[in-house]
Amino acid sequence: MANLSYKHFTIGVEEEYMVLDPQTRELKSHEQKIVTEGQKVIKDKVKAEMHQAVVEVGTDICQDIDEAYKDVATLRGTISQIAGDLGLWIGASGTHPFSHWESQLITDHVRYNQIVNELQEAARSNLIFGLHVHVGMEDRKMAIHLANSARYFLPHVYALSTNSPFWEARKTGYKSFRTKVFDKFPRTGIPDYFESIEAYESYVNLLIKTNCIDNAKKIWWDLRVHPFFNTVEFRICDVPMTINETIAIAALFQAICAKLYKLRSQNMNFMMYQRALLNENKWRASRYGIDGTLIDFGKESEVNTRVLIYELLDFVDDVVDQLGSRHAINLVHKILENGTGADRQLAAYEQNNSLIDVVDYIHDQFLVP
């Protein structure tokens, strides 16, 4: 087994940032100026999102986690600089602490107009900011197999990413309210198990044939075999506040894929659980972050979430050195020690009961390594 190669497990990271008015700390439309200026420097690595107060960036295809780190750090630095030159701020949080979606402008673009026309208030109110991590696959057959197995770990990693405790100036009681907002969309959440890539493709084709969707990009699950690339795309996480948190999570998703691949190559399979069971853990992760319990379905009992995350780190431990990502995986320990973005937002709020302070904190953390 020593010669098993993980070279094809490349990494791509997409992050959605919020554009802020430095005076009011509200979300602010940048009228696509950040995108226009950004494209002069980083080309198509920056693009507009549905709401005009959102900027989306995406890395190149990175061969390892160090390349991903450099790319994410450069993208954050570039966007922050461009925004600053335009008199704006940037921040990374799954939701804005107090801005109301009703006052936010929609980007005028055919795709977004179609989505708003179809989904109406569900689309207009979808003012949220996520992290998508793509892990490269040798082929789509392997991709669907690894996606099926990786579903089990989605709530564990999601708990680490929780970074949206506030919504419209209310303390929601959730560590991640972002997914509660996104749940209003169709075709979201943890996907079902698919027995083969053909079964998945026939599902997609049926939806296209019956005018449910025009292409597979309108399947917004928490994880999907990408419609056009040979990747498994992990979409469950809130955008993390800092660069290191993003890198820790990307490294963990890559390691999960590599470990499941290793098991597969030894003719071993990871247990498959029903979507209904996995959703119980997703709900707990959104409500309590890393401070609650998740269900260990093997033992059929509740277990402290932090304990399960340490077990996950043990599970992937034998592949991380070959991936060259141990230092990045070790950053997970920092999240467990310092709290998630949500925990730190809540702590910033508690000091003066000020949501302005929370926005300032989010902005200050944006370029922290």
Q: What is the CATH number of domain 101-365?
A: 3.30.590.20
Q: Are 278 and 152 in contact (CB under 8 A)?
A: yes
Q: Quick one: average pLDDT of 224-250?
A: 97
Q: What is the pTM of this model?
A: 0.97
Q: Quick one: average pLDDT of 45-74?
A: 96
Q: Quick one: average pLDDT of 21-41?
A: 96
Q: Quick one: average pLDDT of 157-178?
A: 98
Angle among Cα 361, 362, 366 to the nearest 5 degrees reads: 115
For the segment 262-315, what is each residue's pLDDT rounded down to a tens digit? 999 999 988 899 999 999 999 999 999 999 999 999 999 999 999 999 999 999
Q: What is the DSSP string of 340-368?
A: -HHHHHHHHHHHHT-HHHHHHHHHHHTT-
Between CA 82 and CA 248 the distance in angstroms is: 26
Question: Band of the pLDDT at 20, cuts 50, 70, 90?
Answer: very high
Q: Quick one: average pLDDT of 17-28?
A: 98
Residue 185: is its pLDDT beyond 50?
A: yes
Residue 201: is its pLDDT beyond 50?
A: yes
From the list 187, 197, 192, the residue with the least C-alpha distance to 142 is: 197
Q: What is the mean pLDDT of the chain?
A: 96
Domain extent listing, the chain: 101-365
